[in-house]
Amino acid sequence: MFESVRNAFALPDLRRRILFTIGMLVIYRLVANIPVPGVNLQAWLAFTSQQSGNTVIDFLDLLSGGAVRNFSVMAMGVYPYITASIIIQLLTPIIPYLEELQSEGESGRNKINRITYYITVPFALLQAIGQIRLVGFSLGTTGGLATIMPNFGFSSASQILPTLTTLVAMVGGTMFAIWLGELITEDGIGQGTSLIIFGGIISRILPNVARIFALDDVTARIFTIVAFILITVATVFVIVVVQEGQRRIPVQYGRRVRGRKVYQGQSSYVPLRVNTAGMIPIIFAQSILTFPPLIASFFVTGSGSFIDRMATSVSTFSQQLDPIASPLGFTMYWLVYFLFVAGFTFFYTDVMVQQQNLPQTLQRQGGFIPGIRPGKRTADYITSVVRRITFVGAVFLGVIAILPGIMQLIGVILRIDGIEQSVLVISGSGLIIVVGVVIDTMRQLEAQLLMRNYEGFV
């Protein structure tokens, strides 16, 4: 492996690509430390230092690549682009124009990408408003927002210009991050958007590890460090196994005659991944869990009426994470989170498999699954196989998502305060991104080396 790394840096073109990728990530991390205009940075840092276990802030920080903790112009990261891409994927089989573009090859994909960029801008604007409001409500309703961003809002004429400046800065930061990602994809190594998120996640590891060593109880510190090492190693192993796991459906191609050439029948297979959805279901589930509390917080008046009590319960749903003070809220939150992740895994996998249209593709190429009739029988068979293996992927993603809750419950049972920090150093969803990006980047490097007659990394 070290010899392969040396060979990679010895090749001028490959060395240039690697150094270009590193340079773009460094630029992103530098810009991620520029605060948004109009934010009271000292008050914000004081809030975040006291809210180390806030699920809303942790989730937004993960998607932004660590920029939310600094409330920088990159606070939204590339998440609006990811949202726009997912919506385009879901709408493609519904809208004939998009479906036609997808079948046109490279030119059609370029047009779809252009449409995605156009949709990203209004999404980024709406998300900037929603993210600022969501952060404000998570830190103490309107008072918290007024403390960290005193001039944000449209209630008075004096606030309009500062508010627009803040929103334009955040939207511009998102588009700049997307541009950096595109540059990495074209001129660097790996998938640029994923690498930007990867860089932000990695940058949070050392501060989070330092937080473990800062625990006052020596026993809790030792147990937390050991739990962090064991859980990280085990989680990475399971992620690699599941992410690389495939169910290979055998395919037989019949004898074909094209012109004067006769092609003999060949055997191949269709690889169906255990986790086709990646971490998209976790993003969906977390978004659903944070949206209703945000809406309910608008109806909290403090009057004590039935509507006020219901709105208060819903608005604090994601904050009832203490198994001792609120065991029912703690159980309901993590149970609903697990069910949402599992449900979205099946939903998104079905959409992705239907878009591939495997039965029709096989029939057009003269292939068939042995023992299965072409057409509807093949479609039903592929669907049944996909759903069986997706069950494993859904359980896997669900357990990864609720690991913080599991460790918090273990800490209460064993009476070890702070042991949940062992899974907050780098969350399970963050590990999925890190492992996936590393595997994909290593494959691209290995492909570049093999093209030049060098041995791969493994």
Strands 246-253 and 256-258: unpaired
Tokens of 10: 């010895």
Which of the given ranges, 160-174, 241-255, 428-442, 444-458, has the highest pLDDT on average? 160-174
* pLDDT of 142 above 50: no
Strands 246-253 and 367-368: antiparallel
pLDDT band at 255 (very low <50, low <70, confident <90, very high): low
Number of helices and strands (H, E) in the chain?
19, 5
Q: Which of 247, 251, 249 is nearest to 274 (CA)?
A: 247
pLDDT band at 172 (very low <50, low <70, confident <90, very high): very high
Q: Identify the three-state secondary structure at position 428.
A: helix
Contacts of residue 252, Cβ cutoff 8 Å, sequence gap at least 6: 265, 266, 267, 367, 368, 369, 370
Reported as a single tens digit per residue, the pLDDT across 415-442 is: 766 666 666 666 667 777 788 888 888 8
What percent of the chain has pLDDT above 90?
3
pLDDT at 176: 92
pLDDT at 322: 67
Across 399-419, average pLDDT: 75
* pLDDT of 387 above 80: yes
> Could you tell me which residue, 378 or 291, shows the higher pLDDT?
378
What is the set of domains in the chain, with CATH numbers? 12-204 (1.10.3370.10), 219-425 (1.10.3370.10)
Question: How high does pLDDT run on average in the chain?
Answer: 78
Reported as a single tens digit per residue, the pLDDT across 283-312 is: 777 777 766 766 776 676 667 777 777 777
